Amino acid sequence: MGKVGAGGGSQARLSALLAGAGLLVLCAPGVCGGGSCCPPPHPSSAPRSASTPRGFSHQGRSGRAPATPLPLVVRPPFSVAPGDRALSLERARGTGASVAVAARSGRRRRSGADQEKAERGEGASRSPRGVLRDGGQQEPGTRERDLGKATRFRMEELRLTSTTFALTGDSAHNQAMVHWSGHNSSVILILTKLYDYNLGSITESSLWRSTDYGTTYEKLNDKVGLKTILSYLYVCPTNKRKIMLLTDPEIESSLLISSDEGATYQKYRLNFYIQSLLFHPKQEDWILAYSQDQKLYSSAEFGRRWQLIQEGVVPNRFYWSVMGSNKEPDLVHLEARTVDGHSHYLTCRMQNCTEANRNQPFPGYIDPDSLIVQDHYVFVQLTSGGRPHYYVSYRRNAFAQMKLPKYALPKDMHVISTDENQVFAAVQEWNQNDTYNLYISDTRGVYFTLALENVQSSRGPEGNIMIDLYEVAGIKGMFLANKKIDNQVKTFITYNKGRDWRLLQAPDTDLRGDPVHCLLPYCSLHLHLKVSENPYTSGIIASKDTAPSIIVASGNIGSELSDTDISMFVSSDAGNTWRQIFEEEHSVLYLDQGGVLVAMKHTSLPIRHLWLSFDEGRSWSKYSFTSIPLFVDGVLGEPGEETLIMTVFGHFSHRSEWQLVKVDYKSIFDRRCAEEDYRPWQLHSQGEACIMGAKRIYKKRKSERKCMQGKYAGAMESEPCVCTEADFDCDYGYERHSNGQCLPAFWFNPSSLSKDCSLGQSYLNSTGYRKVVSNNCTDGVREQYTAKPQKCPGKAPRGLRIVTADGKLTAEQGHNVTLMVQLEEGDVQRTLIQVDFGDGIAVSYVNLSSTEDGIKHVYQNVGIFRVTVQVDNSLGSDSAVLYLHVTCPLEHVHLSLPFVTTKNKEVNATAVLWPSQVGTLTYVWWYGNNTEPLITLEGSISFRFTSEGMNTITVQVSAGNAILQDTKTIAVYEEFRSLRLSFSPNLDDYNPDIPEWRRDIGRVIKKSLVEATGVPGQHILVAVLPGLPTTAELFVLPYQDPAGENKRSTDDLEQISELLIHKLNQNSVHFELKPGVRVFVHAAHLTAAPLVDLTPTHSGSAMLMLLSVVFVGLAVFVIYKFKRKIPGINVYAQMQNEKEQEMISPVSHSESRPNVPQTELRRPGQLIDEKVESQLIGNISIVAENQSTKETPTYVNV
């Protein structure tokens, strides 16, 4: 969710951010690809208008958005194509300065003759096509026309008073930042910079200051430091005398502070790098600074000292308190990220933001980059179930979910305006791609009704959403919007905040006075409403608070909006009628509170003329502002009430210094205006004088008078109107039908009562209508259409639901889960609520109001819990059930299976988990050559291998959003031999009992056996087992060469086995662990659980050997068991299920494993270390398992 740049009022505010508080920045898109600033912008230079790709975005506002450095006047170093042009953008209302922006993407090289003609002023004096006056000659084709309706141009050249100053020595500098304090201050500051596009950094800078309105400038590099490179210039919005300069952080991180409009500076070192600043809207010395490492700092001394507020703050999501909504002026609102990446909304005091003093107004997490604090509203977004949900707090009260029509199903929302205690939002619904629907809210910002469908949208140069909506300055409730109808974009206008819309009537005549044949609704006037972050794109529209009737815009006449054949149009009666004023795009600025219009042509050629109109664009006079044609890069008007001085920035050639032309318009006025110089003008809409419930009459200067207005005259009078149906919009849940009536939507039940309604109380029963916010009408149908208070009837509970606060069906063990109880109908104040969490704990509440913040509970065990809620009152009851899955994070998965087995024997594989209890799991098994997995809900499977060879087994365990896996390799043979090994006691002193050590010792033992016996290594497999004392298992395996020949017979395996035992009994197998430490390997004692399967197919010689060993008296056990258990794995299984589970030994078995006493269970960390490991040696898989039982020596035939 975010704020969005949207046309005029909204986009004009965006321009104000670009310009800063009395500041100007220009960029030339042709130089670097068309961005709003050619170099990679300083992070603080981007106003807070960029939205998330899908989210809650917003349009930044002066005083609460991050402080913007001066806009850049970028001087293009290259030549341009003839089609390139420069534009003008008037500074938005409410920001102090009247700013015009003009830029070029380069310069076209011209022939010597053309250049000479341009320098003489020839070729640049051609007038716009139209009707001349005052003795001027008519252009061909004008002849007899309606001169009263044609736009008139006076070709006699007049001269404006101007002076020119060159910034000598800065000819290589390609960027400039300009600040003009205005308001009776003659000081202008200019920071010029050389930005190296190859290095991506600033290599030079100069600071200039003028104290005579720009007639002369002084270079201040010696006052800030000759070697200091300045990067950005900030101005305090509440005290323009306070200036802040930021040095280039690549060289040093410092601030230079001035309190005398830049005359002197003090330098302060910083221990962090500033990315953006946010000035307090009231306190001039209070500043928030955002660093490049996402830390937020505060200063109460205008940057002289800083204090850390919070780490992990989301960029551009921090705000000062809003007076009237927050009691503490030093309260800071911010969105911060936790270490696990979640975002939450925090508030704290700027000088006391400790952990104990932070508040979290919205419970739980919010979507990243979604916090908006604007005027009396706070907005957050929370996505659950794949859908975004939007919440609003009005005047810092509890958050409520924003209510759109039930099936709007928004996938994106942008807050456009929060003026006049109402939220204007653009919503992209589930079936929209490049259009948005406009919605308008009630005062609390909770209930929204549709204002206009399918408004055109586009993306700005930095990816932010731009809505084609323009709020006309000076007239409340008046908007222009571009709506898409059948793939055609048309411009509509409203005078009552979107209650009614209509097309724009095209002018009756064109520029020459010829009639225009354009019949509504098939043909109308269409306007470009975009005023993007890049002030050099076409599509200009301008209005001014002090000239409420005048709107100037570029557009075209036809069936739809077009990007070709663009002309300039003006309306002097607030959009009722329009006149064409130029056939080419011009930048039009307001002078003298809108009493005079100034127009500069968009052209890539140098100019020395501009046009002035004293009669709201009906006629234009030509004035020269310089003797030498100038490539115009920007225009800055004097801030304040009497805007009569302008500075034009440019250069005579692409290699010359910056030229600053000061233009003084005072000479064009005869005198100051008196009362008799004004006439009344009544605001109306197609003759209807009641606009927003009132008749308003304004003062306008008579067109024939050339007097200077000075201060804005304002409205003469305002008279409320009698309320009619036109003053009311449809209430939430109602839709306007073709007969004009507001009727309930199919999904809305008008009889449903507010859940806050309790028996004996009253509620407002809607009539289906609600008065347009800020409408001032009285009496009339007001009583008929206003919601009526009505006694709350008793109702039985209905529509009960219980959900988690985040909409998920899962919760984490040991953590709070917040449950929300929702009731569509019923007396919430007199309803008993009983909640059973399903884990043996239940709670009761006497009314639903006590559960508004949610019911918190902590589950100590994992599992699926049946959460039930029942509500009862004297009229009935209702119940609801929620099946909640409580889990804990799965950390480890270990696959337990034999590392050697025989053909056609059943093999068991078990997934051993840590922790053992994690909730509902899904197991995906891949084994053998199967191309499709086996999916189970159990952690064990059984299977057989029908052929010899190496086989890979993989198990994937899915636990919530996490998937872990383990892979093991198992060797399959027709027969093999197995023997348990023990070692001399000194090995235990060096056994750290970790997997890596066991693997290395296994390789050493194998090497010793090969050297002592001469048996090829392909026949031997050694696995060192976890635990103490140190033990290992020796496997004698058949070997077959790759050709399938020379396979060892049973007799060969017996001979190898006898040889191995013989050498082990003679202490011939030993190895040196380290110098002076020799370890001997022995045959271990007979185990109580045989190592191998004793089947009738095994040889008789092996049985005789076994009987001989038994009769010697070394063992008294008769071995008929078919399987043995692995104690280490057995411990894991007992932790998991608290009951016996079958585990796999090196060969198959069929007997249950004995229980391991609880005293033998190891700590979890040790169990993790003792997991079975698998490593391939040659063509054999080595697996180490934990073994903790004493065993007697045995050698068994298989």
What would the 3-class secondary structure string for 1094-1130 be? CCCCCCHHHHHHHHHHHHHHHCCCCCCCCCCCCHHHH
Distance CA 678, CA 700 (A): 5
SS3 at position 1059: helix
Q: Quickly list DSSP for 280-309.
A: -SS-TT-EEEEETTSEEEEESSTTSS-EEE
pLDDT in tens, 942-956: 988 888 888 889 999
Distance CA 478, CA 685 (A): 10
Q: How far is CA 593 from CA 530, 664, 1041, in A?
A: 23, 15, 99
Strands (E) across 501-593 are located at 502-503, 524-527, 541-544, 547-558, 567-571, 579-582, 586-591
What's the pLDDT at 629? 92
Q: By mean pLDDT, which of 316-325, 622-631, 1188-1197 is the weakest?
A: 1188-1197
Question: At residue 111, does pLDDT exceed 60?
Answer: no
Q: Which of 692, 48, 621, 62 is nearest to 316 (CA)?
A: 48
What's the pLDDT at 246? 93
Percent of residues, the chain, with pLDDT higher than 90: 38
Question: What b/e string do you get for 787-817 counting C-beta neighbours within 10 Å, with b at 16 or more?
Answer: eeeeebeebbbeebebbbbbeeeebbbeeeb
Distance CA 987, CA 224 (A): 74
What's the pLDDT at 982? 92
How many residues belong to the chain?
A: 1198
The tokens describing 1067, both together, are: 């202490």
Distance CA 553, CA 569 (A): 5
Question: At residue 81, does pLDDT exceed 70?
Answer: no
Kindly give the interhelix angle for 1050-1065 and 995-1013, rounded to the nearest 10 degrees: 100
Q: What's the average model confidence in pLDDT over 1083-1094?
A: 45
What's the pLDDT at 838? 94
The model's confidence at residue 823, banded by pLDDT at 50, 70 and 90, is confident
Please state, rounded to an integer, the average pLDDT across all residues of the chain. 76
Q: What's the average model confidence in pLDDT over 91-109?
A: 30
Report yes or no: 928 and 1159 within 8 Å, Cβ to Cβ. no
Question: At residue 830, does pLDDT exceed 70?
Answer: yes
Q: By mean pLDDT, which of 174-183, 920-929, 984-993, 1159-1168 is the weakest?
A: 1159-1168
Which residue has tokens 């953590």?
815
Q: How far is CA 224 from the centre of its chain?
A: 38
Range ranked top by mean pLDDT from 268-282, 1037-1051, 1108-1122, 1157-1171: 268-282
| Segment holding 1136, helix H or strand E | helix 1127-1137
Q: What's the average model confidence in pLDDT over 394-417?
A: 92
Distance CA 617, CA 553 (A): 12
Percent of residues, the chain, with pLDDT higher than 70: 74
Distance CA 628, CA 625 (A): 9
Report yes or no: 870 and 878 within 8 Å, Cβ to Cβ. yes
Give yes or no for a cis peptide into 898 (omega within 30° of 0). no
Between 1109 and 391, name the one with better pLDDT: 391
What's the pLDDT at 754? 59
The model's confidence at residue 27, banded by pLDDT at 50, 70 and 90, is very low
pLDDT in tens, 339-361: 888 999 999 999 888 888 999 99
Question: At residue 87, does pLDDT exceed 80?
Answer: no
Q: Which of 399, 311, 398 is nearest to 390 (CA)?
A: 399
Distance CA 541, CA 250 (A): 40
Q: Which of 915, 911, 855 is nearest to 884 (CA)?
A: 855
Question: At residue 209, does pLDDT exceed 60?
Answer: yes
Distance CA 338, CA 170 (A): 47
pLDDT in tens, 63-73: 333 455 555 55
Q: What is the CA radius of gyration of the chain?
A: 42
Distance CA 1194, CA 1089 (A): 10
Question: At residue 134, does pLDDT exceed 70?
Answer: no
Phi-psi region of 472 (alpha: psi -120 to 50; beta: other; left: phi over 0): beta
Question: At residue 147, does pLDDT exceed 80?
Answer: no
Report yes or no: 634 and 618 within 8 Å, Cβ to Cβ. no
In the 8-state DSSP scheme, what is residue 504?
B
Q: What's the average model confidence in pLDDT over 683-698?
A: 92
The model's confidence at residue 28, banded by pLDDT at 50, 70 and 90, is very low
HEC profile for 825-890?
A: ECCHHHCEEEEECCCCCEEEECCHHHHCCCEEEECCCCEEEEEEEEEEECCEEEEEEEEEEEECCC
Q: For residue 1022, count CB atoms less than 10 angstroms from its CB and return exposed for 0-12, middle for 13-18, buried for 19 or more.
A: buried
Query: Which residue type does 948 have?
Result: E
Between 341 and 44, name the one with better pLDDT: 341
Our CA angle for 1068, 1187, 892, nearest 5°, is 125
CA dihedral 823, 829, 830, 834 (to 10 degrees): 50
Give yes or no for a cis peptide into 750 (omega within 30° of 0). no
What's the pLDDT at 429? 93
Report yes or no: 425 and 405 within 8 Å, Cβ to Cβ. no
Question: What b/e string do you get for 69-94 counting C-beta neighbours within 10 Å, with b at 16 or more?
Answer: bbbbbbbbeeebeeebbbbbbbbbbe
| Segment holding 682, helix H or strand E | strand 678-682
Phi, psi of 137 (to 5 degrees): -80, 145
Distance CA 71, CA 196 (A): 18
The model's confidence at residue 149, banded by pLDDT at 50, 70 and 90, is low
In the 8-state DSSP scheme, what is residue 567?
E
Q: Quickly list DSSP for 699-736.
A: EEE-TT---B--S---EEEEEEPBP-GGGEEEPTTEEE
Question: What b/e string do you get for 639-649 counting C-beta neighbours within 10 Å, with b at 16 or more?
Answer: bbebbbbbbbb
Bridge partners of 571, per DSSP, are 551
The model's confidence at residue 808, banded by pLDDT at 50, 70 and 90, is confident
Distance CA 885, CA 867 (A): 10
User: What ranges in 830-961 are assigned the alpha helix state H?
Assistant: none
The model's confidence at residue 531, banded by pLDDT at 50, 70 and 90, is low
Between 421 and 69, name the one with better pLDDT: 421
Strands 131-132 and 152-159: parallel
Phi, psi of 1013 (to 5 degrees): -110, -20
Report yes or no: 403 and 415 within 8 Å, Cβ to Cβ. no
Number of Cβ within a 10 Å radius of residue 419? 16
Q: Which of 961, 888, 885, 499 is nearest to 692 (CA)?
A: 499
Report yes or no: 1037 and 973 within 8 Å, Cβ to Cβ. yes
Query: Which residue type does 172 have?
Result: A
Question: At residue 1118, does pLDDT exceed 80?
Answer: no
Phi, psi of 1050 (to 5 degrees): -60, -40
Q: What's the average model confidence in pLDDT over 765-786?
A: 92
pTM over 0.85: no
SS3 at position 233: strand
Question: At residue 242, does pLDDT exceed 70?
Answer: yes
Which residue has tokens 């400038």?
217
Q: Which of 455, 398, 389, 320 is nearest to 4 (CA)?
A: 455
Q: Which of 616, 660, 666, 611 is nearest to 636 (CA)?
A: 660
Question: At residue 1091, does pLDDT exceed 50?
Answer: no
SS3 at position 646: strand
